[in-house]
Chains A and B, each alone.
Chain A
Amino acid sequence: GENVEQHPSTLSVQEGDSAVIKCTYSDSASNYFPWYKQELGKRPQLIIDIRSNVGEKKDQRIAVTLNKTAKHFSLHITETQPEDSAVYFCAAFYTGGFKTIFGAGTRLFVKA
């Protein structure tokens, strides 16, 4: 069945360093890849997304890269700040269908 693997499960960085989270998906029909940030006790919120016809997308300190051939996509956060501390989820979605498959999440700690 469809699956999204996410690594690492926990990531601790020093403030100002970069953080990278990686995901691999199994369904080659997936063509939309969102990333969500979930703070403790709050709802998931979309922070960036990428479609399969694009290899990279950047929004200020956040960037996402996609390798369709390898079925890999990654989230890059530069100049991390303590408020970046949260759980981050990657997901894969086929826009011709209805199901979003989420990764298990990465708990990011940014130490001041």
Chain B
Amino acid sequence: DTGVSQDPRHKITKRGQNVTFRCDPISEHNRLYWYRQTLGQGPEFLTYFQNEAQLEKSRLLSDRFSAERPKGSFSTLEIQRTEQGDSAMYLCASSLQGAVEQFFGPGTRLTVL
């Protein structure tokens, strides 16, 4: 499968624990996006990378959230001190430089108990 991949697909954690998710974009895509999707809602933009540079971060994003893309390939999203309100599907998408179509990964479903 040469599409966007995400790992893990499911994560159950206890409140207060830290979690980290990984996204592998399509290999030649230098743009990478993270979104959060809750039940019955559309994806909510979290952050954007162009190569290794994080160029935009949602104002709604808590300081407990951090994302990296150290070598401009895969990206990680970390949530520290998880809260029950963090329970959601975390989606990653990628696109080519100069293109607008975003290709989504299968998502990581986070459940915070």
List the interface of chain A (C-beta within 8 A of B). 1, 4, 6, 32, 34, 36, 42-46, 49, 89, 91, 93, 95, 97-105
Contact = CB atoms under 8 A, between A and B. Distances in A.
Contact of B41 (A44, A93, A95, A105): A105
Contacts, number: 57
Given A49-B101, A99-B56, A100-B33, A44 B45 contact: no
Interface stretch (B17-25, B68-76, B80-88, B102-110): B102-110
Contacts of B40: 104-105
Interface of B: 4, 31, 33, 35, 40-45, 48, 50, 55-56, 58-59, 91, 100-107
B43 A89 contact: yes
A13 B25 CA distance: 37
Q: In the complex, which of the residues B4, B58, B104 has the most CB atoms of chain A within 10 Å of its own CB atom?
A: B104
Given A89-B42, A98-B50, A104-B41, 6 more contacts: A43-B104, A89-B43, A98-B48, A98-B55, A102-B35, A102-B42
